[in-house]
Amino acid sequence: MTQALIVGGGIGGLTTALWFHRVGVAVTVFEAVPEVKPLGVGINLLPHSTKVLHQLGLQNRLEATAILTRELRYHSKDGKTIWVEPRGRFAGYQTPQYSIHRGRLQMLLLDAVKNTIGAQQVLTDHRFVGCEQSETCGVVAHFARSQAGEEQVSVRGDVLIGADGLHSAVRALFYPHEGLPQFSGQMLWRGAVETEPFLGGDTIVMMGTNDLKAVIYPISQESAVRGRSLVNWVAERRIGKDNPRAKESWNKQGHKADFVSYFHHWRFSWIDVPKLFTETDEVVEFPMVDRDPVAQWSTNAVRAPVVKCTPVSRKPNSKRSLKHTSAWPDSIVRQSTADAAVGYQVAIQNGLNFADTQLAIGDSAQETVSLVHLSTSNRSVVVLHVYLAG
Ligand SMILES: Cc1cc2nc3c(=O)[nH]c(=O)nc-3n(C[C@H](O)[C@H](O)[C@H](O)COP(=O)(O)OP(=O)(O)OC[C@H]3O[C@@H](n4cnc5c(N)ncnc54)[C@H](O)[C@@H]3O)c2cc1C
């Protein structure tokens, strides 16, 4: 049986582990932190990703935890409505959009991995530090254990998936000179506070402009059943690209003095934005950062970092997808499920010309499908999402 090593027990790594297990690949997850804790604030899962999570049997647990988002609204900074659109099932999709606490989602996935694959297949306190690979022997990965005096452990696998987040050590191994992510000039402060429900208790609101913006949405079904709303909020302010405070971290404490006063007029009949901020106990701060795509997402046995947990945005059986599938050379169609990224590279080497956000589909032989979501904007091709569907 193929042995997969997954580096990183975050949203992408755990979801990938569940899919590998589902398609018959033996899998072990290696997570750097000694104990996984439910960190973070709100995150939104759109229908293309919730379809995958439902196929993994997680629908009931998601519905018990998350808000099934009904509507997205854009407002000006003085509260005027600019645009309103339905979301998820309310917009006609088969599966919903969930607004959920990122840490609760991670714990839900972790429980699922432990229950279906086995708790022994998730190794915490295993920080990836390097690997060697060969065409014949797969990959040998090395991990350091901080709680064992930095003792090193080496593990062999057939394939290694780097799902170790924004500061991926796997990615850094192949792109050692990439440096820090690029800062957009936008600073975000985030928090969550339980309050009265607003606009039905299932609405996302985005207000203002890139100079000053607020994003507000409820994230907890457990609060909703008590008639309350755990409201996630983001306060965003343009501070300029050269600001020295722009060091990225998910857990850095934020200070209300840095942003609340900018929103002091944002008080409306349906929500009091500055009150929401001031009533929140814990605030985190992080800069909006991004990375450029890399030239190659897999090399021999080491595969692309899973960039997002949300997989693809088009239906696999849509006409466009099928058209592109039939146009592919055999070499792609025959790729095994673990080789979605390789299939993508073969596609590019064969000069296939994808428009933005197309699907690549491979491996009909094993009744499984590998999907790669491509974007060719700015003449660069980006693998945005990789997932396996049974
Ligand atoms: C603590 C934390 C809080 C976050 N909060 C939010 C939030 O509030 N809202 C939001 O939209 N997004 C948040 N994110 C980001 C979001 O989870 C991811 O961007 C997205 O889900 C993609 O998931 P991922 O699996 O690629 O990365 P992540 O979810 O970031 O997971 C990466 C995992 O890899 C582990 N890891 C890192 N380096 C190594 C290594 N060398 N060896 C082994 N394991 C390693 C990390 O500990 C982490 O568990 C947060 C991420 C983290 C880590």
Predicted TM-score of the model (pTM): 0.80
Cα of 3 from ligand 1 centre, angstroms: 23
Instruction: Please tell me whether residues 307 and 352 are part of one structural domain.
Output: yes
Instruction: Please tell me whether residues 157 and 29 are part of one structural domain.
Output: yes
Mutate to test the pocket of ligand 1, among 16, 31, 190 (most ligand atoms within 8 A of CB): 31
266-294 pLDDT, tens digit each: 999 999 999 999 999 999 998 998 888 88
Do 73 and 199 form a contact (C-beta atoms < 8 A)? yes
Instruction: Please tell me whether residues 277 and 383 are part of one structural domain.
Output: no
Ligand 1 binding pocket includes 31 (Cβ within 6 Å): yes
Ligand 1 binding pocket includes 8 (Cβ within 6 Å): yes
* Position 389 pLDDT exceeds 50: no
Instruction: Please tell me whether residues 313 and 347 are part of one structural domain.
Output: yes
Instruction: Please tell me whether residues 195 and 301 are part of one structural domain.
Output: no
Ligand 1 binding pocket includes 10 (Cβ within 6 Å): yes
Tokens of 334: 């025959």
Do 229 and 197 form a contact (C-beta atoms < 8 A)? yes
Question: 21-38: buried (b, 16+ CB within 10 Å) or exposed (e) per residue?
Answer: bbbebebbbbbbeeebee
Share of the chain above pLDDT 90, in %: 64
| Burial class of residue 75 (count of CB atoms within 10 Å of its CB; 0-12, 13-18, 19+) | buried
Residue 383 lies in a domain: yes
Cα of 213 from ligand 1 centre, angstroms: 24
Do 212 and 275 form a contact (C-beta atoms < 8 A)? no
Residue 234 lies in a domain: yes
Structure-model confidence comparison of residues 302 and 303, the more confident one: 302
By residue range, what is the domain housing residue 206?
A: 64-100+181-290
Task: Name the domain count of the chain.
Answer: 2
Ligand 1 binding pocket includes 11 (Cβ within 6 Å): yes
pLDDT band at 217 (very low <50, low <70, confident <90, very high): very high
Instruction: Please tell me whether residues 93 and 185 are part of one structural domain.
Output: yes
∠ CA 27-139-106, rounded to 5°: 35
Instruction: Please tell me whether residues 278 and 374 are part of one structural domain.
Output: no
Helix or strand (DSSP H, E) at 203 = strand 203-208
Structure-model confidence comparison of residues 171 and 351, the more confident one: 171
For the chain, what is the largest distance between any 2 Cα atoms, rounded to a whole number of angstroms?
A: 66
Residue 72 lies in a domain: yes
pLDDT band at 302 (very low <50, low <70, confident <90, very high): confident
Q: Tell me, what CATH number does 209's domain have?
A: 3.30.9.30
Ligand 1 binding pocket includes 219 (Cβ within 6 Å): no
Cα of 230 from ligand 1 centre, angstroms: 22
Instruction: Please tell me whether residues 195 and 172 are part of one structural domain.
Output: no
Q: Tell me, what CATH number does 165's domain have?
A: 3.50.50
Question: Pick from 290, 315, 346: which residue ends a domain?
Answer: 290
Closest CA to 277 of 225, 200, 212: 212
pLDDT at 303: 63
Ligand 1 binding pocket includes 308 (Cβ within 6 Å): yes
Structure-model confidence comparison of residues 133 and 146, the more confident one: 146
Instruction: Please tell me whether residues 155 and 187 are part of one structural domain.
Output: no
Tokens of 249: 């971290």
* Position 33 pLDDT exceeds 50: yes
59-107 pLDDT, tens digit each: 999 999 999 999 999 999 999 999 999 999 999 999 999 999 999 999 9
Ligand 1 binding pocket includes 30 (Cβ within 6 Å): yes
Ligand 1 binding pocket includes 39 (Cβ within 6 Å): yes
Q: Does residue 263 sit in helix, strand or coil?
A: helix
